[in-house]
Amino acid sequence: APAAEVLLDVDGATKTFGGLVAVNNITFEVRSGEILGLLGPNGAGKSTTFNLVTGVAQPTRGEIRLEGKRIDRLPPRLISSLGVARTFQHVKLVPDMTVLENVAIGAHLRTGAGFVAGLLRANRTEEQAIFQEAARNLDRIGLGDEMHQLAGNLSLGSSRLVEIARALCLSPKLLLLDEPAAGLRRFEKEKLARLLQGLRAEGMSILLVEHDMEFVMGLTDRIVVLDFGTKLAEGAPVEIQNNPAVQEAYLGG
């Protein structure tokens, strides 16, 4: 079979903070329509890798390419407008805005305008379209009924799902999720897994950092393991599970 198309290409990326090498010459690719797991003990460099891909940090060495074009010197807003969306390890909803408004921020980010500037500039029709898309994405994650609640009233699990709805308003080609299952109850994890499978079926690529091994092993197509900033292993979930170096890194870490 022909190799799947490469969407994201992390090519020898290194990131140092003073004397600390957070990410050390890592190379991997994310293919179109796959869920790639990014695993590793605490401090392995997973969040730093997300920051490099989203332009929040710039690599000290190496290149990052989206659809073959370099993105590693572009500002975060431009990278997101090219189709890269993320959620954060710690929930970043505005607690005293409604769930719907929190999600609508995502649609505004796509236009490159800030939320308030976007609302001031948007005409009524555009504004309606933005809120409709936000509502559609909330329905999709199963929280349509909660859209007029204040975000601060939501459970942690629901808040994480709302963050994903917000990211979906960017219509991303690549979705980066930093520990989306953390703090979710079992039925919420199952809902999340079905959502991600649906997105993959539509051709979206997902880069997933997650500590819940059952969740990761059941969902990912391939896995890259980092340890102390370097790539320790790469392969199918079953290969990773049976890899002695990976087992050692987790037991030793």
Told to check if 40 binds ligand ADP by CB under 6 A, we report yes
Told to check if 90 binds ligand ADP by CB under 6 A, we report no
Rounded Cα distance between 163 and 168, Å, is 9
* Residue closest to Mg ion (Cβ): 47
C-beta closer to ligand ADP: residue 94 or 245: 245
Alpha-carbon separation of residue 165 from 56, 57, 138, 238 (angstroms) = 21, 24, 6, 30
Minimal distance in Å, beta carbon 62 to ligand ADP? 15
User: What is the CA angle 91-63-49, rounded to 5?
Assistant: 25
Minimal distance in Å, beta carbon 249 to ligand ADP? 12
Encoded one letter per residue, x for contact with ligand ADP by CB under 6 A and - for no contact, window 45-84 reads xxxx------------------------------------
In a 3-state reduction of DSSP, which class is residue 141?
coil
Beta bridge partners of 69: 66
Alpha-carbon separation of residue 3 from 10, 19, 69, 107, 200 (angstroms) = 17, 39, 19, 33, 17
State which of residues 13, 35, 36, 44 lies at the interface with ligand ADP (CB under 6 A).
44
Minimal distance in Å, beta carbon 44 to Mg ion? 8
Binding segment for ligand ADP among 5-13, 41-49, 71-79, 96-104 (CB under 6 A)?
41-49
Interface with ligand ADP in residues 9-38 (CB under 6 A): 17, 20, 22
User: What is the CA angle 149-110-145, rounded to 5?
Assistant: 20
C-beta closer to Mg ion: residue 44 or 169: 44
CB 57 within 8 A of CB 51: yes
* Partner from Mg ion, ligand ADP, none binding residue 48, C-beta < 5-8 Å depending on class: ligand ADP
CB 122 within 8 A of CB 133: no
Closest CA to 47 of 90, 92, 11: 90
Encoded one letter per residue, x for contact with ligand ADP by CB under 6 A and - for no contact, window 139-158 reads --------------------
- What residues line the site for Mg ion (CB under 5 A)? 46-47
In a 3-state reduction of DSSP, which class is residue 35?
strand
**Would you tell me which residues interact with ligand ADP (CB under 6 A)?**
17, 20, 22, 40, 42-48
